[in-house]
């Protein structure tokens, strides 16, 4: 289970608004931003395992968004998102 708060302000400010303001109603460029802003103290999301060897194991996650093109008429043209999860050694796993 991932619990996170996302902040899309940078995406709206840097991509969506400029696309709407441009004469061609498009944005082309290079955008990469970490969208996760909490609830962890370092701005990371909380991850909690729910079953098996990860039952009640806690960790962190961060979601990032990369974009290269946006159209005010149809939305994202070239965009990629990813979720990075840090997985600790589960309890009961063989130690080297």
Q: What tens digit of pLDDT does each residue of 1-22 get?
A: 899 999 999 999 999 999 999 9
Domain ranges of the chain: 2-86
Give the number of other CB atoms < 10 A from CB of residue 88.
13
Residue 39 pLDDT greater than 80, yes or no = yes
pLDDT tens digits for 83-94? 999 988 756 656
Q: Whole-model pTM?
A: 0.78
Q: What is the torsional sign of CA 66, 71, 74, 78?
A: negative
* pLDDT of the residue at 15: 95
Question: What values do phi and psi take at 43, rounded to 5?
Answer: 80, 15
* pLDDT of the residue at 51: 85
Instruction: State the Cα–Cα distance between residues 57 and 28, nearest whole angstrom.
Output: 41
H/E run at residue 11: helix 9-11
């Amino acid at each position: 289970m991932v619990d996170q708060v996302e902040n899309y302000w940078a995406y709206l400010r840097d991509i969506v608004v400029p696309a709407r303001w441009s004469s061609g109603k498009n944005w082309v460029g290079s955008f990469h931003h970490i969208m996760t802003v909490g609830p962890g103290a370092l701005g990371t999301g909380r991850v909690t395992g729910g079953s098996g060897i990860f039952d009640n194991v806690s960790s962190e996650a961060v979601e990032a968004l990369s974009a290269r093109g946006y159209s005010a008429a149809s939305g994202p043209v070239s965009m990629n998102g990813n979720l990075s999860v840090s997985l600790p050694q589960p309890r009961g796993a063989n130690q080297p």
